[in-house]
Amino acid sequence: MARARMTALALLTAVSLAATPALPCAFHNVLPERTAADWLVEGSALVLARPDPENPFAFAPVEVLRGEVPSDLDAFVDSVSRRRLAAAPENSVLFARDGARWVQVAYVDADFRPVMRRILKEGPEWTSGFDARRFALFAGLQDHRDRELRNLALREIDKAPYAELRRIKLRLGVAALMENFYTPVNAPYQPIRALLLGLEGSEAARRVIHSTLEGAAHGGQSPTLGAFATALVEIDGAEGVALLEEKFLADPAQPLAKLELVVEALAIQHGVGSAALQGRISAALQGFVQTRPEGAALVARQFISRRDWSQAATLEAMMQAQRFTSSETLLPVAIYVGQAKQAM
């Protein structure tokens, strides 16, 4: 234990030179690949293409949106695209250059075309990171008749910080949010749909959220646990925190990897909640780490990524009391406490 304490003190000295780590979100903003909107804003070269009249198995450019006419648009026209484009001579496929290759980005039809033109016009004015104008554009498409545009809207909405997501004018009801929810094709959109359920706020949404979390408490690892936990606190406030405490944090049989999703949900809600809700969340986390000290690493990781230093006093007291017996717990806690001291 003396060695562990010395290690902690050394870490606290060294951490003054360390930058706050950029930690990945476990369930929110879970789609790192670029969207069609990303390509339209960031792509160095963009072209619309159709099957070459002289070779229906190869694409040929019909309009250059950015850059020069490509001489190396080496892309195969599969049978589905060939039939689809043959039946709609006014439609095309959007390609973007990615280094030395061209990437097929989107099918451009009467629904996608005006959205594409608007992004090309407005995109250069969007700021990096979250941009309210970009968010508003895609929030308006969340219930579009075209499935691909609806999915694009969900992916774009999912990029917003939770504080901004809460301001959305929701146009989807519970039935739409849960439609084909558990099908494989919709798996990437499950977390954002769950978050929107919490914002929908109806009794029907509450029933879905409670039922899902009840199943998650008795099941294995769930990719939607964090999002549904966030939605629970959104819809039930302090009572939701108490339920998460009872079903997850106070259950010694729950694995830490699973609990990190719950801790992340509480960290998210701590950042946007009222003073009373923040106090309730902090009390739940304090009880959790006191009974399960190794869980302090979870709290440190999730709160440091949000630059929220509200848990520093609790974790520092545990360090001083030599409650941590492993470097896996001690290291993130020491970094968090050290960063908190710098920030305060």
Contact 268, 30 (CB under 8 A): no
Strand partners, 309: none
What is the token pair recorded at 164? 């901004």
Residue pLDDT, tens place only, 281-312: 999 999 999 999 999 999 999 999 999 999 99
User: In whole angstroms, what is the distance from residue 288 CA to residue 283 CA?
Assistant: 9
For range 114-140, the mean pLDDT: 96
Tell me what pLDDT residue 28 has.
52
d(CA 47, CA 299): 47
pLDDT value at 230 more than 60: yes
DSSP state, 17?
G
**Residue with the two structure tokens 């749909």:** 193
Least confident of 92-101, 150-159, 255-264: 92-101
Residue 30's pLDDT is 46
Q: Which two tokens stand for residue 233?
A: 């606190």
Residue type, 5: R
Token code pair at residue 213: 């979390």
Considering the chain, what percentage of its residues have pLDDT values greater than 90?
A: 84
Indicate if the pLDDT at residue 24 is higher than 50. no
pLDDT, position 99: 85
- pLDDT tens per residue across span 137-160: 999 999 999 999 999 999 999 999
Q: What is the mean pLDDT of residues 113-139?
A: 96
Pairing status of strand 101-108 against strand 46-52? unpaired
The first and second tokens of residue 275, run together, are 């003073």
Q: What is the pLDDT of residues 233-245, one digit of tens each?
A: 999 999 999 999 9
pTM to 2 decimal places: 0.89
